[in-house]
Amino acid sequence: MFNSLFLVELGYAFMGAGIGAGIAALGAGVGIGRIGGSAVESIARQPSESGKIQTAMLIAAAFIEGVALFAVVVCLLISFKA
């Protein structure tokens, strides 16, 4: 049988993994939102450079999304290992 201390530690691991995944998703949302807002503002100031701005925006958003996905996977691995 499991002792109560092990179950408490297991609960903390699940809680930490859930909080970590939530923070990663929140950070990615804020980062991509800031990139989008800055890109729209830049395009409004320099409409002739919209293609370059959009390309840079999409590349940066992809990097942010990749890091967020990596963080969520790490959190899931931590929760499954516990």
Q: What is the pLDDT of residue 13?
A: 83
Cα distance between residue 39 and residue 3, in whole Å: 54
Predicted confidence band at 81 (pLDDT cuts at 50, 70, 90)? confident
Complete domains list, the chain, with CATH: 17-81 (1.20.20.10)
Q: Which two tokens stand for residue 43?
A: 């395009």
Express each pLDDT in 20-74 by its tens digit. 999 999 999 999 999 999 999 999 999 999 999 999 999 999 999 999 999 999 9
Q: Is the pTM of this model over 0.85?
A: no
Alpha carbon separation from 60 to 4, 11, 26, 46 (Å, rounded): 46, 36, 16, 19
